[in-house]
Amino acid sequence: MHSLRVMLHNELRYQLRSYRLLIVAAVFFLFGLGTPLLFNYLDVLIPAEDFVLPEFTATDVVEEYLSTVAQVGMLATILLAMGIVASERDRGTAAMTLSKPVGVGAFILAKFLALSATLAAGAIVGAAGAYLYTFVLFDDPGAGNFAAANMLAWVYLVFATSLTILFSSHFKNQLAAGGLALVILIVLALTSGLVVMREFSPGALMTEAQSLAAGAGIQNWGVVAATLTLIPLLLLAAWHVFRKKEL
């Protein structure tokens, strides 16, 4: 536990020193503010004679914001996580770290927790901006459902983090790690409408988040349970893979 605390402290400091936390928070905040602003001024951007716009509601804005988090947030997560282990193996810093009294489990878990905390901070900032501007420009989207929906969105990003860390532990090439994680996440998203996938696939988690934000509640709890189960399993797989790699 001591080595995990030390590693986690170092990783959190790195998130601050490298401005990753600031960049992630800024990106989420811009999308949080930008989505309701875009919907509000869409009639100005698109002339009425070209296209008749529907009357947008707070639910429409929130669903679009969550969709943006799923897409842009997923890409940001992969970019942050794809070199989290691979780059340290490539530079040789992983061997230096693990030559100290630090286990492979603490090494991987600290990186996972630090990046998850960074994503949580970004998600909170973005959600606050989206909620405030949606409330002012449209209507109250419902604080409870909105917060719960954003929590599910964060869980989806944490799942993407654990998946990318698994491939980052396997490959020295971080582009290979990020590319493979991206392909799998896209496949999961594209197949999320299938019956079995809709009930258990992490790719359907954002659909549940949007349903929750719309006030319909979670339709398939199996999706949430499967995602929460897969996250530690992916980290366990990353530990198993990495401890057998030559540093």
Q: Note the pLDDT of residue 84.
A: 86
Confidence band of 158 (pLDDT split at 50, 70, 90) = very high
The answer to whether position 150 is within a domain reads yes
Number of domains present in the structure of the chain: 1
Average pLDDT over residues 37-45: 78
Q: Could you tell me the pTM of the whole model?
A: 0.92
The answer to whether position 247 is within a domain reads no
Q: Note the pLDDT of residue 244.
A: 78
The answer to whether position 152 is within a domain reads yes
Task: Give percent above pLDDT 70 in the chain.
Answer: 91
Q: Note the pLDDT of residue 246.
A: 63
Residue 1 Cα distances to 4, 103, 121, 208, 243, angstroms? 5, 10, 24, 35, 18
Confidence band of 122 (pLDDT split at 50, 70, 90) = very high
The answer to whether position 208 is within a domain reads yes
Q: pLDDT averaged over the chain?
A: 88
Q: Note the pLDDT of residue 33.
A: 92
Average pLDDT over residues 29-52: 78
Is the per-residue pLDDT at 217 higher than 80? yes
Q: Give the residue among 81, 63, 66 at the shortest CA–CA distance from 24.
A: 81
Q: Note the pLDDT of residue 44.
A: 67
Average pLDDT over residues 163-182: 92
Q: Note the pLDDT of residue 83.
A: 86
| Segments forming the whole domain that contains residue 29 | 2-242
Average pLDDT over residues 4-17: 89
Q: Both tokens of residue 245?
A: 């790699």
The answer to whether position 147 is within a domain reads yes
